[in-house]
Structure 1
Amino acid sequence: MQDALVEAVRVWPVDPPRDPKGWLVAVAWNRFRDATRADASRRRREDLVNAEPTPGPARAVDDTLQLYFLCAHPSLTPSSAVALTLRAVGGLTTRQIARAYLVPEATMAQRISRAKRTVSGVRFDRPGDVGTVLRVLYLVFNEGYSGDVDLAAEAIRLTRRLAAAIDHPEVAGLLALMLLHHARRSARTAPDGGLVPLAEQDRSRWDTRLIAEGVEILQAALARDRLGEYQAQAAIAALHADAPTAEETDWVQIVEWYDELVRLTDSPIVRLNRAVAVGEADGPRAGLAELARLDGSLPRHTAAAAYLHERDGDLATAARLYAEAARKAPDLAERDHLTRQAARLNARLRR
């Protein structure tokens, strides 16, 4: 009752109650109930502490990979399982996951919520499919590769553990792909933080040890003749890593590997990358013809068109498209890079 009277002194001058006596009884009862619950909770915590066994040495266990498999629950669709695992275990935000899936953030939030409801009350005693786990690791690495280096390193660490535990060519292919991409990381950004395109990177800064390891793992996986999308992507990365200069890149063979990737995935993004590769192998107009067959709303479609128009000598169109692509860029680093490309061409046109 004393607590209720103190609360009345604080509240009543501003908002006097219609029934002062009833108000005091209600507030006093609520305070009494809260205090009783708090005391009971404290006693339960003390009892639990007293019942705990004496601490002793324990073996260090890293169960992160096991959690990846458990979150890839058979009751979920592969896309929902990937989204849930990325959020619950991978540490990615809903916005990062939505960007990886090329969908609005609100759509991805609903997908994750549905996945949570689906597995609510379900026993997590059946591990999911290895393909779903590979997709999660691939997306975690991609997010880390373009953002936090520790996230990429963690994805490589877990994929190494998976490769040691499972004899699967696609697990090896994913590990090779990660190593080959990670080998170029230090050359991807300029001292001012700007992006450096692959063709302009200082190849002496590439990690040859990681490249050699990635190529060796890839060759062993390809020798098993069970081609999958990660092996095909790794083969493309290996061809880039093998070229002493950008001009010596074997674009014809890269297009052939993209053909395999299209057959395996039929992904619009793969088709977009293939169009750029065709532009390098057969000339920019051939690349633009391939690009014209694709959906213009695809991420980086406009940037790819700008690059091919510049290669074809149409600087005015390229400058306009670079500026348009900059406005659509998903992150600041890419936006700055495309803006600089547009400014560079506009300066050439003025001269």
Structure 2
Amino acid sequence: MKSLWIKARLFFNSIMLFLMVLTFVVGNAEGSNIINFASKDSHQHETFDNQDSHQHETFDNQDSQHTDESLDDHDERIVMSDEIVQKAGIGIKHAAPETIKHTLQLFGEITAIPEQQFLVSAPYSGLVESLKVKVGDLVVKGQVLATIHNTASLNSYDVVAPASGEISHKYVRLGERITEQPLFEITDLSTVRLQMSAFSADLEQLALGQTVQVRDLHDHNATLTQISYLSARMNTQHIAQAQAVLPNNMGFWRPGAHVKADVTVSNRQVKVVVAKTALQQFENQLVVFVRQDNAFIVKPVQLGQADDTYVEIISGLVAGERYASDNSFVLKADLMKASANHAH
């Protein structure tokens, strides 16, 4: 009996030892899994951080690369393909020699030329039997204008136009008795006179033969002529008259119309000019955008004389260089944008 109890005791102890070992093994296994999970999560977090850092660096590099393509800090270079230049409407011209014109603007009035105005009279007294024309009609030399009945001879005769032109006045009525008064006035407006007003300071710059560009006040039409007369006297308002003759075959220049007259008082040949539209203000200096390969280079320039269209370049450009002549403000805007990006 005692032997049986001892065996039971030993079996119980063996069971307890087995359970203790099993608990230790399982506990180690669970601790190992927990460490592995944490390590995996830590590794994953580190990976994401690295990926995010790498991705941020990549975007920064791409942004820096894009900016470098638009602008180089060293030479203010704007890269732009020919296709983009065309789509943006940026005109390209060559810097070249040109004549700079200095002009003086005067104002004037169109008048008929007195030598081209004709009064038409009847050679005999009589009654106006018929009138063939009215004011505004165009007539040619020899055309019948009216028929007069001579009450003394009881004969009728025709009155004809002494010159071609426009009927500018009609002085008689049908059935009216006439003696020596004129019947009509004919004005030849194929050429007209320009009367320009010039002050004393203006007269010092004017000379016979100078070219005059005449424009209506709305700039709808323009023509070229030359000064043909300069008055030797001034009126009570200290104004002298300068005159020129305008061709007027189309009838645009009407007597009584006020016009602008730009007189070219001097011409000067210069070595290099650009269009005035090419100039832009950047960083407190005037610049021109010069086309080189697939880019525009910003070049500061020093200016000389100018007229309405061109400006002389004293330094900064040489003849033959291509430059942005139209819509250069597009390049300035791109340049300012790139500079702002660099500032940030």
Task: Indicate the structure whose relative CO is greater, using CA pairs within 8 Å and at least 6 residues apart.
Answer: 2
Smaller-chain TM-score range?
under 0.3
Of the two, which has the highest radius of gyration?
A: 2
Task: Say which structure is richer in strand.
Answer: 2
Query: Normalising by structure 2, what TM-score?
Result: 0.18
TM-score by length of 1: 0.18
